[in-house]
Amino acid sequence: MQEMFLLKLGEVVLKGANRFTFETRLCKNIRRRMKHFGSFDVNLRQSTVYVTPLSEDCDVESAWEACHTLFGIAAVARAFPVEKTMDAIFDGVMTYLGDTLAAAKSFKVETKRADKSFGLNSIQISQEIGGRIAEAMPELLVDVHNPAFTVHIEIREHAAFIHGPSEPGAGGLPHGIGGRGAVLLSGGIDSPVAAYRMAKRGVELECIHFFSYPYTSERAKEKVLELARLITKYTGKMTVDIVGFTQVQEAIRDNCPEEYFTLIMRRFMMRIAQAIAKDHGCQCLITGENLGQVASQTMQAMVTTGAVIDLPLFTPLIGMDKEEIVRTARQIGTMETSILPYEDCCTVFTPKHPRTRPTLEEVEKAEAKLDVDALVADALQKVERVRVKYYED
């Protein structure tokens, strides 16, 4: 037998009659992810997914890292399977964890007996294996309250599994189980975090980015594509729709009162994004808006920008403070790219004194000189679709 992974299910176990649908989607996602690293067997039993390498040329370390990014998994452990006998379990502990135990000052053994037909109960197994370890390694102290290292034994249907402490998984729900949504992805800190948080709820994502050349550079576009690529570490490959937005912004600049520039720009973004989303089967729009963070994200401003769409608008960061958002951006690996100094279209023609508490009637009057339908139609003709992925096939 050889080392393999135990992936423990999260909130999927709370599902009722539709739990099978969630589990099927989760296993499909795991198999697809593991293909990048070689041939692995993926098998679900008793709320645990067993991931076993089938050949010596598997990239086990990369596969292990990827297991931490699978939504739907609460905890992950590298484990060593052995026969379900006390001698085999003890030998397995010494073979697999002996070096780690030797470096520890104290230890304890914790056992879970999912196979109730096994002759000893969990406490008896822990006591016997713990006693054998103490006898074989007398320099080790037994400490059941605050051990330096914990040996975990799981007695399951087809084998006993030995491992050290589990590590946190990505949590959430299996990717793709929660419908499909379109994220308005800028080059900032917030929208990649919003994408991550919605993906964690099982939503399959497509990204939409508004690009205003020559006011924004090719480097700014590449920055956004890199942010999308980093998100695919958690979601798998996805599409970024890059919208040519220059003509819309110039029309706003030339025809609308300055204090309403940003609000009207965002209304156009919503209209265009909704058209793209509906065309691609998305059921919602997602933004990185955060209540009160900037002038266009007051409650009154958000009412005016959301009034032009009929798809649900999800704002997963709405109640978070900036420190929480930054902490998540660092956790998922997007922060360093987000802070690269390349401007996005939201910084183009920014008003000196933006309107923070507008009424819908004011904003509609301010954009009345624009041929909205023609501008939207023209922008939709200038969409570049780019496919991004984190792992090479």
| DSSP string across 311-342 | S-EE-TTTT--HHHHHHHHHHHT-HHHHTSS-
Give me 290's structure tokens: 């955060």
β 285-286/180-184 pair status: parallel
Amino acid at 63: A
Dist CA 189 CA 261 (whole Å)? 22
> Which tens digits make up the pLDDT trace of 262-299?
999 999 999 999 999 999 999 999 999 999 888 888 99
Average pLDDT, the chain: 94
pLDDT the model gives residue 371:
96
Check the CA dihedral 112-115-117-118 and report its sign.
negative
Helix (H) or strand (E) holding 274: helix 261-279
Report the distance separating Cα 59 and Cα 53, nearest Å.
9
Q: Which amino acid would we find at residue 261?
A: F
**Could you tell me if 246 and 213 are in contact, meaning their C-beta atoms sit under 8 angstroms apart?**
yes
Tokens matching residue 38: 């070689």
Alpha-carbon span 122 to 133, nearest angstrom: 16
Helix axes 190-200, 322-332, angle to 10 degrees: 70
Token pair recorded at residue 370: 């624009």
User: What is the C-alpha to C-alpha distance for residues 273 and 270, in angstroms, rounded to an integer?
Assistant: 5
N residues, the chain:
393
Letter for the amino acid at 95?
Answer: T
pLDDT surpasses 90 at 345: no
Asked if the model's pLDDT at residue 342 lies above 80, the reply is no
If pLDDT is split at 50, 70 and 90, which confidence band does 350 have?
confident
3 state DSSP class of 85:
coil
pLDDT at 29: 96
CATH superfamily, region 180-388: HUPs (3.40.50.620)
| pLDDT value, residue 393 | 59
Q: Any residues with CB less than 8 A from the CB of 329 and at least 6 apart, and which?
A: 189, 192, 193, 335, 338
* pLDDT band with cut points at 50, 70 and 90 for residue 1: low
Torsion of CA 285, 287, 290, 294, to 10 degrees: -120
Instruction: Provide the CATH number for the domain formed by 4-170 in this structure.
Output: 3.30.2130.30
Is 90 exceeded by the pLDDT of residue 306?
yes
Residue 382 has a CB neighbour count (10 Å cut-off) of 15
Cis bond upstream, residue 53 (ω within 30) = no
Q: What is the pLDDT of residues 173-207, one digit of tens each?
A: 999 999 999 999 998 999 999 999 999 999 999 99
State the Cα–Cα distance between residues 130 and 59, nearest whole angstrom: 33
11: which 2 tokens? 């909130």
The domain locations on the chain are: 4-170, 180-388
How confident is the model at residue 392, as a pLDDT?
Answer: 72
Partner residues linked to 76 by β-bridges: 7, 167
Distance CA 271, CA 373 (A): 9
pLDDT one-digit tens code per residue, 60-105: 999 999 999 999 999 999 999 999 999 999 999 999 999 999 999 9
**301 CB contacts (<8 Å, ≥6 apart)?**
263, 295, 355, 356, 357, 358
Beta bridge partners of 161: 81, 154
Q: Tell me how far CA of residue 59 lies from CA of 37, 164, 234, in angstroms.
A: 5, 21, 18
Task: State which amino acid sits at residue 191.
Answer: S
Residue 62 carries which DSSP code? H
Rounded to whole angstroms, the Cα distance separating 203 from 176 reads 5
**CA 186, CA 329: separation in Å to the nearest integer?**
14
| Residues 226-238: tens digit of each pLDDT | 999 999 999 999 9
Rounded Cα distance between 309 and 316, Å, is 18
| Digit-coded pLDDT (tens) for 94-135 | 999 999 999 999 999 999 999 999 999 999 999 999 999 999
